[in-house]
Amino acid sequence: MARKRRGIDAPEGELEMTPMIDVVFQLLIYFIVTIKPVDVVTNLDVFRPAPNPNQPPDTKPPNLLRLGVYQDGYTLNDNPVSLDAMDSALARIARIDAGQTIMITVSAFSEHGALVRALDLCAKNGLRSLSVVSASN
Amino acid sequence: MKKKYADAKLDMTPMIDVVFQLIIFFITTVDMESKALETKVRMAMSPNGPVEETKDPRTVIVDVDKDGNIQIQQTTLSEGQLLAVLKKAVVASGQSTPVVIRGDYQAKHEQIKRVMDIAGRAGLWKLRFAALKEKA
């Protein structure tokens, strides 16, 4: 049927665009419907101090900040803090010395999401030197 | 049809057919790599995390789901197997091999700790935690 119509409508040997455009639209719609947007993933770098007791003792930097992640909240130098308070404290610290080491102690029963949130705040304030150690409780 | 060839005009239809075939082929195959790295792990959000520009081909991605199962490329591994894999990676590409831990946000830290300890035993001290910068 199509050939017959082409014979009548289109000049001989000329490419008929209509079916091609139909197919292109079909493809376009198919890909728009099936495409899955990709999540943007980021990587938060940490340093894991060696648990090996035989290794030489750490030359601890004098300005070591201790951050605790527990299942019921966060601590900063052993004082309980909220996320907002921790953010502003980290911003203050980063203004003084962004290179200083922050030791993050994580309780075994805290959720991984809580640690990532703390690491996110460190990344937000430009603190790069992060050590993660695990507490046994 | 015969008339067309006699007119010596170029018939575009077969060429367009082939081009479409090629397009579909490339679109379906280009996704293969991301399929292998696909995960059911729901990562925590980190909107302030640094943007990754370059990807190290040596990267080992370790998934930890919320029940503490350890997976690499959708293959569940025991602790011993993970240690063997990481040791092999250290032998093949050195101690600077990037290890990315993709932990579920609900996973308990002790499960993440297991992976970190195994990485430590393999001699890998620099670890990275994957998080979502933007959720699509």
Inside any domain, residue A55: no
Instruction: Say yes or no to pLDDT of A9 above 50.
Output: yes
Tokens 């092999």 map to which residue? B88
Q: What is the pLDDT of residues A87-126, one digit of tens each?
A: 998 898 888 887 888 889 899 888 989 999 999 999 888 8
Kindly state whether residues B97 and B124 are assigned to the same domain: yes
Cβ atoms B84, A93 nearer than 8 A: no
Kindly state whether residues B50 and B71 are assigned to the same domain: yes
Inside any domain, residue A45: no
Share of chain A above pLDDT 90, in %: 6
Contact (CB<8Å) B7/A12:
yes
Q: For position A1, what pLDDT does the model report?
A: 47
Instruction: Say yes or no to pLDDT of A2 above 80.
Output: no
Alpha helix segments (H runs only) across chain B: 2-6, 13-29, 32-36, 79-93, 109-121
Question: A120 in contact with B at a CB cutoff of 8 Å?
Answer: yes
Inside any domain, residue B134: no
- pLDDT band of residue A65 (cuts 50, 70, 90) is confident
Range name among A50-54, B15-19, B39-43, B46-50 with the lowest pLDDT average? A50-54
| Domain range for A103 | 65-135
Kindly state whether residues A75 and A131 are assigned to the same domain: yes
Q: What is the pLDDT of residues B59-81, one digit of tens each?
A: 889 999 888 899 988 889 999 99
Cβ atoms A102, A65 nearer than 8 A: yes
Residue in B19, B113, B114 to test binding to A, most A beta-carbons within 10 Å = B113
d(CA B82, CA B124): 13
Inside any domain, residue A22: yes
Instruction: Say yes or no to pLDDT of B106 above 60.
Output: yes
Q: What are A47's two structure tokens?
A: 């340093």
Question: A121 in contact with B at a CB cutoff of 8 Å?
Answer: yes
Average pLDDT over residues A71-78: 87
d(CA A44, CA B83): 22
Residue-wise DSSP of chain A: -HHHHHHHHSPTTPPP-HHHHHHHHHHHHHHHHH--PPPEEEEEEEE-----TTSPPP---SS-EEEEEETTEEEETTEEE-HHHHHHHHHHHHHH-TT--EEEEEETTSBHHHHHHHHHHHHHTT---EEEEEE--
Inside any domain, residue A23: yes
Q: How far is A106 from chain B (nearest CA, A)?
A: 7
d(CA A78, CA A85): 14
Could you report the predicted ipTM of this complex, rounded to two decimals? 0.73
